[in-house]
Amino acid sequence: MKSPVKLFKLVFFLALILVNCSCSKQYGMSSEDLAEVIARPVPGQATTDFNDEFSSERKVIFNANLKLIVSNPDSTNQKIEALTKKYEGYINQIGSDQTIIRVKSEHLENAIQDISNLGKVQNKNIYGKDVTNTYLDLGIRLENAEKARNRYLELLDKAVSVEEILSVEKELERLNEVIDLIKGQMNRINHLDAFSTITINLQEKKKLGLFGYIGAGLYQSIKWLFVRN
């Protein structure tokens, strides 16, 4: 059975966008104009369509949920920690009721199998979210924002009055914030693409008391009278 997770290196070349500017005394750009420039698609390119060469290169975030009945949650968590290291991951949250880990995506299937062996599996779900379009769109927005910033740096060199300098610097500051935000979102996607998340819900197995064992023995005896292999 093939693993549901494959990592791909997303490589794409974006056409450059030219940001037009006015030759008037006002070098600034309004918030609305700035948003339009950043979101504007590159001419001849589509933000959500893929070229044939990129059709098989995807960004997919995988998540898995397991519910386990175990004898001792604490000892089970110790084993989960060991498995996390084995599969080159890290602990995101650990607790007696719920533990969340991330492992290298190429090891997800094996990690789930090993964790399942630590107790009785009540529920198991694995699902993936394709975020390729989102990632490509962020890449285009980043490219546009960086080109707009370069253009403003050119305008800053040409600015003469204090008013012009302050206006350009204000837009540069805003563009830098946008660029940092987009880079953070892209880094987040890259990280979650590389490390799949496994959420393990732990339920301690109920222990029988003295009368519970007696009742269980009687049940097995009565069951034998009615059901035989």
Domain boundaries, the chain: 31-55+133-190, 60-131+195-226
Give residues with Cβ within 8 angstroms of 86, minimum separation 6: 111, 114
Which of the two residues, 17 and 37, has the higher pLDDT score? 37
pLDDT band at residue 29 under the 50/70/90 scheme: very low
Least confident of 43-57, 111-125, 173-187, 213-227: 43-57
pLDDT band at residue 5 under the 50/70/90 scheme: very low
pLDDT score at 127: 95
Side chain identity, residue 119: G
Which of the two residues, 172 and 226, has the higher pLDDT score? 172
Side chain identity, residue 200: I
> Among the residues of the chain, which ranges form H helices?
31-39, 73-86, 108-116, 132-158, 162-194, 210-226
Q: Give the span between the Cα atoms of 179 and 186, in whole angstroms.
A: 11
Among candidate residues 83, 76, 130, the one with its CA nearest the CA of residue 107: 83
pLDDT band at residue 227 under the 50/70/90 scheme: low
φ, ψ for residue 50, nearest 5 deg: -120, 140
Q: Give the span between the Cα atoms of 178 and 188, in whole angstroms.
A: 15
pLDDT score at 80: 97
| pTM score of the predicted model | 0.67
